[in-house]
Amino acid sequence: MKVTIKDFDDIAVVEVEGNIDSKTAPEFERSTKLATDKSNTIAIDLTAVEFMSSAGLRVLLMLYRNVKAKNGKVVLVGVSEEIQDVMSMTGFINFFKIVEKQDEALSFLKQD
């Protein structure tokens, strides 16, 4: 798994490539923590993620809680249909705004 953090004004964009499972979830968690230390407005780009285990879902839930505690926003980008199905079954999907492209996420996050 590869994680890249980019800054766009006051928005942190975390781009993830590869699967998020029990082996890679700690790195994903560290990256999302770095992003939330920089900003309380976060976009997580999962376009290049085909599989996410429950460990990855746990990281997303923790991210959501941390950002919401700071009155921030989280948007997920490019979430595959399979991951959306799992998120739907667990109820996690209700916590997140999901968009197809990064520019949509940036537009949404810039709104007040």
Per-residue model confidence as pLDDT tens digits over 52-68: 999 999 999 999 999 99
Q: Please name which of 56, 52, 47, 64 lies closest in space to residue 104, comparing C-alpha atoms.
A: 47
Residue 81: give its domain's CATH number: 3.30.750.24
Domain count, the chain: 1
Mean pLDDT for 86-106 is 94
Question: 16 and 46 in contact (C-beta within 8 Å)?
Answer: yes
Length of the chain: 112
Report how far residue 98's alpha carbon sits from residue 95's, in angstroms, rounded to the nearest whole number.
10
Entry pTM: 0.94
Radius of gyration of the chain, Cα coordinates, nearest whole angstrom: 12
CA distance 111 to 84: 24
pLDDT > 90? residue 9: no
Give the domain extent around 58.
2-110
